[in-house]
Each structure stands twice: as C-alpha cells, then as structure tokens.
Amino acid sequence: MDNREEACVQRGAGGWRTNHSIRFRDNNWCRESSMSHVLISPLNWGLGHATRDIPIIRTLLEHNHDVTIAACGNALLALKKEFPDCSFLEFPDYPVPYSSSRFFLPKLAASFPALLQAIANERKTLEQILSRNRYDLIISDNRLGVYSAKIPSVFITHQLHFHFPLFLWPVELLALRVNGYLHEKFDKIIVPDNPPGSAALAGKLSRPSVEATWERVFFAGILAGIERSDVPSDLDHLIMISGPEPQRTRLEEILLPQVSSLAGNNAVLLGSPAKEGLRTVTPGCTVIGYASTAEKIELMNRAKCVVCRSGYTSMMELAELDKRRALFIPTPGQTEQEYLSWYYRGNGWFYSETQYRLDLPRDLAIAQTYAGFPHMSKTKENVKRLYDEVLTGYLT
Amino acid sequence: MDDLVVKGAIALVIFYAGLLIIACAVLFLGYVLVESIVSGNYGLFLSIIGCVLGAVAFYSATGLLLHRKGII
C-alpha cells in the first residue's frame, strides 16, 4: 500500500494548529496520526540548556511525538546519552565569550561580530535542515537564530532582562529593546521560572520589560533534568567545581586545600573530563575527577549542603531537590551568576562569596543560617502544565 | 539576506560608531584640559572639570533612579 502523509499547518486566532492525516492512493482519508515532529535545539554554552530540555523532550516522547535534537559539542553528547532513540543533527552554535580574566564584558563586546557571523551561519544551516525534513514545531533553547516564519517556533530562556553593572545602565536599557526585537521572531517565550514576584528564582532576569515579550511569555516554573530520590542524607558537604576554564581550575586550586579542614563526610566533584577516572579517597573526603550524570544526581540527593557556582541550571536543580543549605561561588565576570548570588543573599535564601575571599569553614557556617528557596512547584508538574497549556497548541 | 542578520549588522555598526565617538570625545576633552593648563587658562580648566563632574553626577543619579524604580 502506497500511503502518503500530508501535513497542514494553520495559524488562527488560537495560535498554530497542525493536522496530519494518512491518505491512501484512492484519496480516502483513513486515520489521523497522533505524531508531530519537533525540532529542539539547545545552546551549547555549558550543559545547562541541554539539561533543562530533558524533561521537555521526555514529555514530548511520552506523547508519541518525534523529536529531532539539533545541537553540538557536549550538549549533543549528553542528549544522545539520555535519548538514544531520538534523531540527532550536528548543528554548530556560537563561540563562547568566556574570559580568562574578570574582563568578561569587554570581551563580550569585542565578540559581537563573530557572534553575528555565527547567527548568520545558523540561519543558513536551519534553512537546510528545514528543507530536508518536515517539522511541526521548533523549540530553541537560547539559540537566537533558530526560528522560522513558516513553522511555529518557541524560545526557552530565563534571561528576559540582561544584568549589567550599574554604571552600564544605558547598555542594560538598550539590551532590553534588543531582546524585545529578538522575541518578536518567536511565537512563544518559555521562561523556566516562576512568575515575577517573591518566588521568582531568577529575579529581575526573568522579568519581562517590553510589550513584545509580555505578549509571548509563559512562565513554566523550574525545569530541572534531575529528580529527587529517597536516599539517606549521609553526605555533609558536596562541593561541585564546574564551569568554563580556566576559572574552573582556579576554583579547584582555591577549594581543594580548604576541604581538608571540613568535618564530616564530604565529596568533591572536579568536573574535569580530563580527569575522568580519578578518584581519591581520604578519611572524610572523596575527590572525583569527573562524575557521570547519574552519580552526580545521586550525590546531590545525598548531600546536606552543596557548594557550587551560581549558574541558573544548578539553582533549578537545588530547588527541585529542595536543598536548603548551600554556598554559592559566582564565576568572576559572569554578570548573571554575580547577580543571582547577590539576589539570593539579599533575599536571605542562600549565602555566597567570591572565590577570592573564600574561607570554606567560615562561609559554610554562615551559609547554615540562610533559609533556602521558598516552596515552589516542581518539574514534573511544571512540564505537564507547559505541555498542556502551550506545546499541545502547536502539536496534533 | 536574512532580516535578523541585516539588522544585527546595522546595530553593530551603530554600536561601535558610538564607542568610537565616546572615545574621541574623551581624548578631545583630555587634550583641551591639558591645553588649558599649559596656557594658564584655569577658568576653562575648572569649567570643563565642573561640567564633567556634573555630567557624571547626572549619569550616576539617573542610573540609581532607574535601579530604585526597578526598571533596571
């Protein structure tokens, strides 16, 4: 039997709708397929974007949709491991403007032409991808050029509002306008955070400021790629050293000599793929060169107190696991992490300290006096609501 | 060419031109300040310093106000 699949994409008042039917040669419409095809593309600046997309991909697969993952580098590798049955496309993204020094902003400003060139290449590659396959929905996680005028496109970001040092306030105002312009390219902006207010995990970063963003925004709540498990909390401190080099190594050099002064049962994750296989066990402390995702999740579940960078994905993971005790060390020069640390400290949620002034025993004692994140809905509930209220509107 | 790329390129040209204008203005102001001291024109020197301090105060106050109002 020679079947032919036809797709009809319509955009009406209620948004986009896709209808698929299988039509036999005699032109009789026989059955409706329940399957839509989703292209999901996370940015490969660290694993955070790929990680928070895991519950979304899982939900799409549970609803029998086809998912093609277009990414590059470690993000692609991590998702291949997590979803071996999905289709994958190598899709290069942008150069990371991380700086080896504190001068993140000048380096970021100097990298704009390379960033624009990368977006131009991204647009061309996307056109090629879309011409080879039929997609019903595009989900872009912080990839500015991954959208189409012909296919419903949604954008996942927790940064509706970029934070700059106060003396650069005109740049911050300008960035709001630029963000608004970029958001107009998408049908929906999905923010993995609670709505603005006392429980907003990203503070002003996830606060819409321009009309184009307000019209499109959907606050999904936290989306973490890890789950809480019932294991005993037998680890006093879990120290996670992560992030881009060379700051990761610098933090390792600062933290490791201080760990021996901590009491109790402790573990240190160096987060260095080059040190995979390294495992040093001393009384009261285990140092692991590179932990698998499963091992990291298990250790996080077991930890009473976590020491880590203040990247937003880590924050969502701590909120998901209901961790109340943590110490944050922002990556120098990364304005987002510096803002989040300041915001949590100001709210009395978590203590933070710069790596240059870190005194682990003293800072951990102070960290015990902070209250932790307020109660909030968890990923399982959030991703269900996201699917029911947003994604299903674009899918069959 | 793609709309996003074209507008992005225009924005970048404006952005870098703005930075260049600011850098030129700072250099020019420095030159005038040095000239005014060398020529003994202290009135001009103090006037420029006064204007610069006023502008910095206005700039800082605007930033603080926007921060306090929750706009930035």
State chain B's mean pLDDT as an integer: 94
The C-alpha angle with vertex A45 and arms to A96 and A298, in degrees rounded to 5, equals 145
Q: Residue A14 pLDDT > 50, yes or no?
A: no
| pLDDT tens figures, A104-161 | 667 778 888 998 999 999 999 999 999 999 999 999 999 999 999 999 999 999 999 9
Residue A200, classified by CB atoms within 10 Å of its CB into exposed (0-12), middle (13-18) or buried (19+), is buried
Residues of chain B positioned with their CB less than 8 A from the CB of A209: 71
| pLDDT tens figures, A153-191 | 999 999 999 998 899 999 899 999 999 999 999 999 999
Cβ pair B4:A145 closer than 8 A: yes
Give the mean pLDDT of A224-242. Answer: 94
pLDDT at residue A277 in the model: 81
pLDDT at residue A292 in the model: 87
Element at A58 (helix H, strand E): helix A48-62
CA distance A255 to A238: 12
Distance from the B32 Cα atom to the nearest Cα atom in chain A, whole angstroms: 25
Distance from the A182 Cα atom to the nearest Cα atom in chain B, whole angstroms: 8
More confident call, A32 vs A128: A128
Domains and CATH numbers, chain A: 4-222+380-393 (3.40.50.2000), 235-367 (3.40.50.2000)
Distance from the B54 Cα atom to the nearest Cα atom in chain A, whole angstroms: 15
| pLDDT tens figures, A254-286 | 999 999 899 999 999 998 877 888 888 988 899
State chain A's mean pLDDT as an integer: 88
Q: Which residues of A337-372 are buried (b: 16+ CB within 10 A; e: fewer)?
A: bbbbbebbbeeebbbbbebeebebeebbeebeebeb
In this structure, are residues A305 and A326 in contact, taking their beta carbons and an 8 Å threshold? yes
| pLDDT tens figures, A323-353 | 999 999 999 888 899 999 999 999 999 999 9
Alpha helix stretches (DSSP H) within chain B: 3-38, 42-68
Single out the residue of A72, A168, A166 nearest to residue A122, CA to CA. Answer: A72
Cβ pair B66:A185 closer than 8 A: no
Cβ pair B62:A169 closer than 8 A: yes
Residues of chain A positioned with their CB less than 8 A from the CB of B66: 169, 173
Cβ pair B2:A123 closer than 8 A: yes
Residues of chain A positioned with their CB less than 8 A from the CB of B70: 204
Q: Residue B62 pLDDT > 70, yes or no?
A: yes
pLDDT at residue A276 in the model: 80
Q: How confident is the model at residue A98 (pLDDT cuts 50, 70, 90)?
A: low
pLDDT at residue A8 in the model: 41
Structural domain span for residue B48: 3-68
In this structure, are residues A193 and A263 in contact, taking their beta carbons and an 8 Å threshold? no
Give the mean pLDDT of B16-30. Answer: 94
Dihedral (Cα; A190, A196, A198, A200), 10-degree rounding: 30
pLDDT at residue A22 in the model: 41
- Tell me which chain A residue has its CA closest to the CA of residue B13: A113
pLDDT at residue A99 in the model: 57
CA distance A183 to A187: 8
Domain count along chain B = 1
Single out the residue of B22, B49, B23, B24 nearest to residue B34, CA to CA. Answer: B49
pLDDT at residue A97 in the model: 66
Residues of chain B positioned with their CB less than 8 A from the CB of A119: 4-5, 8
In this structure, are residues A43 and A72 in contact, taking their beta carbons and an 8 Å threshold? no
| pLDDT tens figures, A64-73 | 999 999 999 9
Single out the residue of A209, A213, A190, A193 nearest to residue A201, CA to CA. Answer: A193
Q: In what order do the strands lie in the sheet with A29-32?
A: A4-12, A15-23, A29-32
What does the block give as tokens for A336? Answer: 């987002």
Q: Residue A3 pLDDT > 90, yes or no?
A: no
CA distance A259 to B1: 55
More confident call, A30 vs A377: A377
Q: Residue A32 pLDDT > 60, yes or no?
A: no
Strands (E), chain A: 4-12, 15-23, 29-32, 37-42, 66-71, 87-90, 137-141, 153-156, 188-191, 217-219, 235-240, 266-269, 279-282, 285-288, 303-308, 326-328, 351-352
Q: Residue B16 pLDDT > 80, yes or no?
A: yes
φ/ψ of residue A32, rounded to 5 = -95, 130
Distance from the B63 Cα atom to the nearest Cα atom in chain A, whole angstroms: 6
pLDDT at residue A101 in the model: 57
Phi-psi region at A126: left, alpha or beta (left = phi > 0; alpha = psi -120 to 50):
alpha
Cβ pair B72:A120 closer than 8 A: no
pLDDT at residue A345 in the model: 97
Residues of chain B positioned with their CB less than 8 A from the CB of A166: 63-64, 67, 72
